[in-house]
Chain A
Amino acid sequence: MNTASAPILQVKGLSKRFGGFVALDDIDLDVGQGERLGLIGPNGSGKSTLVNCICGTLQNETGTVHFNGHALNGAPAHKRTHLGLARSFQLPRPFASMTVADNIRVPLLYTVRQRTGLVHSHIDLGRRCVELLALVGLEHLAERSPRDLSQVDMRKLELARAVASEPKLLIADEAMAGLSHSEVEDIVQLLLRLNKDEGITVILIEHIMRAVMSFSQRLAVLVSGRKIADGKPDEVVNNPQVVSAYLGQ
Chain B
Amino acid sequence: MRSWVFLIVALIVAAAVFAAALLVRTTYGDYLLFAGYVVLQYVVLATAWNILGGYCGYVNFGSAAFFAIGAYTTVALHKLGANPGRYLSDTPFEVLGTLLPLSLPTLILLGGIVSGLVGFGMGYLTLRLRGVFFAIATLAMAVVLQTIVVNWDYVGGSRGAYIIRPDAAEIGPVSLAYIQYLFLAMMLLAVFALWVARTIERSRMGLGLAAIRDDEPAAEASGVPTLRLKLAATALSGALMGMAGAPFPYYVGYVEPANAFGLPYAVNAIAMPMIGGTTTWAGPLVGALVLGSLQQIATVTFRSEASLLIVGVLLVGFVIVAPRGIVGLVENWRRPKKKKLKSPQ
A and B touch in the complex (CB under 8 A): yes
Given contacts A95-B210, A106-B208, A110-B208, contact A82 B223 (CB under 8 A): yes
The smallest C-beta distance from A200 to any residue of chain B, in angstroms, reads 16
Query: How would residues 97 to 125 of chain A score, 1 for a CB under 8 Å from any chain B CB and 0 otherwise?
Result: 11000100111011101100000000000
Given contacts A102-B207, A106-B207, A109-B207, contact A86 B227 (CB under 8 A): no
Contact B210 A81 (CB under 8 A): no
The smallest C-beta distance from A169 to any residue of chain B, in angstroms, reads 13
Contact B214 A98 (CB under 8 A): yes
Query: How would residues 55 to 75 of chain A score, 1 for a CB under 8 Å from any chain B CB and 0 otherwise?
Result: 111000000000000000000
Nearest neighbor of A115 in chain B, beta-carbon distance: B223
* A76 interfacial contact with B, CB 8 Å: yes
* A78 interfacial contact with B, CB 8 Å: yes
Query: How would residues 126 to 162 of chain A score, 1 for a CB under 8 Å from any chain B CB and 0 otherwise?
Result: 0000000000000000000000000000000000011
Contact B218 A107 (CB under 8 A): no
* B217 interfacial contact with A, CB 8 Å: yes
The smallest C-beta distance from A86 to any residue of chain B, in angstroms, reads 7
Identify which of A78, A89, A94 contacts B224 (C-beta below 8 A).
A78
Given contacts A95-B215, A97-B214, contact A57 B220 (CB under 8 A): yes
Cα-based distance from A97 to B223 in the complex (angstroms)? 18
Cα-based distance from A245 to B211 in the complex (angstroms)? 40
Q: How big is chain A's contact interface, by range?
A: 20 to 34
Contact A98 B217 (CB under 8 A): no
Nearest neighbor of A146 in chain B, beta-carbon distance: B214
List, in ascending order, chain A residues with CB within 8 A of B215's CB. 93-96
Contact B223 A111 (CB under 8 A): yes
Contact B214 A161 (CB under 8 A): no
Nearest neighbor of B214 in chain A, beta-carbon distance: A95
Cα-based distance from A110 to B228 in the complex (angstroms)? 13
Cα-based distance from A114 to B224 in the complex (angstroms)? 10
Which parts of B197-238 form the interface with A (CB within 8 Å)?
204, 207-208, 210-211, 213-215, 217-227
* B279 interfacial contact with A, CB 8 Å: yes
The smallest C-beta distance from A179 to any residue of chain B, in angstroms, reads 20
Cα-based distance from A100 to B279 in the complex (angstroms)? 17
Contact B218 A95 (CB under 8 A): yes
Nearest neighbor of B223 in chain A, beta-carbon distance: A111
List, in ascending order, chain A residues with CB within 8 A of B219's CB. 95, 106
Cα-based distance from A102 to B202 in the complex (angstroms)? 12
The smallest C-beta distance from B212 to any residue of chain A, in angstroms, reads 9
List, in ascending order, chain B residues with CB within 8 A of A57's CB. 217, 220-221
Nearest neighbor of B225 in chain A, beta-carbon distance: A78
Contact A106 B220 (CB under 8 A): no
The smallest C-beta distance from A121 to any residue of chain B, in angstroms, reads 13
The smallest C-beta distance from B2 to any residue of chain A, in angstroms, reads 13
Contact B223 A93 (CB under 8 A): no
Contact B221 A81 (CB under 8 A): yes
Given contacts A76-B227, A109-B207, contact A165 B214 (CB under 8 A): no
Total contacting residues, chain B, CB less than 8 A: 20
List, in ascending order, chain A residues with CB within 8 A of B222's CB. 78, 81, 106-107, 110-111, 161, 164-165
Given contacts A78-B226, A109-B204, A110-B204, contact A97 B210 (CB under 8 A): yes
* A226 interfacial contact with B, CB 8 Å: no
The smallest C-beta distance from B305 to any residue of chain A, in angstroms, reads 36
Identify which of A93, A102, A164 contacts B217 (C-beta below 8 A).
A93
Nearest neighbor of A96 in chain B, beta-carbon distance: B214
Given contacts A97-B213, A102-B207, A105-B207, contact A114 B220 (CB under 8 A): no
Cα-based distance from A82 to B228 in the complex (angstroms)? 15
* A77 interfacial contact with B, CB 8 Å: yes
List, in ascending order, chain B residues with CB within 8 A of A77's CB. 217, 220-221
Cα-based distance from A93 to B213 in the complex (angstroms)? 12
Contact B223 A78 (CB under 8 A): yes
Contact A165 B223 (CB under 8 A): yes
List, in ascending order, chain B residues with CB within 8 A of A164's CB. 222
List, in ascending order, chain A residues with CB within 8 A of B207's CB. 98, 102, 105-106, 109
Identify which of B204, B210, B220 contacts A78 (C-beta below 8 A).
B220
List, in ascending order, chain A residues with CB within 8 A of B218's CB. 89, 93-95, 161
Which of A89, A94, A97, A164 has the largest count of B CB atoms less than 10 A from its CB? A97
* A87 interfacial contact with B, CB 8 Å: yes
List, in ascending order, chain B residues with CB within 8 A of A113's CB. 204
Nearest neighbor of A107 in chain B, beta-carbon distance: B222
Contact B223 A81 (CB under 8 A): yes
Nearest neighbor of A112 in chain B, beta-carbon distance: B223
Nearest neighbor of A113 in chain B, beta-carbon distance: B204
Contact A114 B223 (CB under 8 A): yes
Nearest neighbor of A164 in chain B, beta-carbon distance: B222
List, in ascending order, chain B residues with CB within 8 A of A106's CB. 207-208, 211, 219, 222-224
List, in ascending order, chain B residues with CB within 8 A of A76's CB. 220, 225, 227
Cα-based distance from A164 to B215 in the complex (angstroms)? 17
Contact A89 B221 (CB under 8 A): yes
Cα-based distance from A86 to B218 in the complex (angstroms)? 11
Cα-based distance from A114 to B222 in the complex (angstroms)? 12
16 contacts between A and B (CB under 8 A): A78-B221, A78-B222, A78-B225, A81-B220, A81-B223, A94-B215, A95-B218, A97-B213, A97-B279, A98-B211, A106-B224, A109-B207, A110-B208, A111-B223, A113-B204, A161-B218
Q: Which residues of B contact A (CB under 8 A)?
A: 204, 207-208, 210-211, 213-215, 217-227, 279
